[in-house]
Amino acid sequence: MAGIAHNPPEETLREMLYRWAKARPLTLKRQAEHLGLAESTLGNSINPHIEAMEYKLAWLIPHMLLNDSLAPLDYLEACVGRVAFDLPQAPECVANLQAELARTIKEFGDVIAASGTALEDGRVQRNEVKRIEQEINEMVRQAFAFLQAVKDRMERY
């Protein structure tokens, strides 16, 4: 597909699913029971050494919800060079949209500050990239919260 970057990770999807499911607090047997599967069906479908069984896409969302983990979704996003994050709920009653806007502007300022610090010496270190990424993610979340607050206000009045 044109325009989509493919960044294959070091492990396959099956290897990631196997590692992820085995590391969860619920045993594989309990996970299978909750999904309405036999333990062997689930175990074989995520086993990277058994190609005859397939992990069904229909199991993925219930499996992530059961395990309270979006790691498989994060894996898929990383494969195509994307990042997913939770959108915040807008406050139930937004009495002052200016306060939301001020928070959004503050987050943007944090991105600028982190970027300025990182670029000051002309070299960008890994920890600086992480800090910039964190600040950008917070800014985007806040921007969506502000947008949602504006939309909510529009619908009410």
Q: Tens digit of pLDDT for each residue in 128-137? A: 888 888 888 8
List b or e across 124-156, with b for residues whose CB sees 16 or more CB atoms inside 10 angstroms.
Answer: eeeebeebbeebbebbbbbbbbbebbeebeeee
At residue 93, what are phi and psi to the nearest 5 degrees?
-125, 110
Question: What pTM was computed for the model?
Answer: 0.57
Q: Tens digit of pLDDT for each residue in 112-150? A: 888 888 888 888 888 888 888 888 888 888 888 888 877
- The answer to whether 131 and 118 are in contact (CB under 8 A) is yes
- Give the separation between CA 149 and CA 157, rounded to whole angstroms: 13
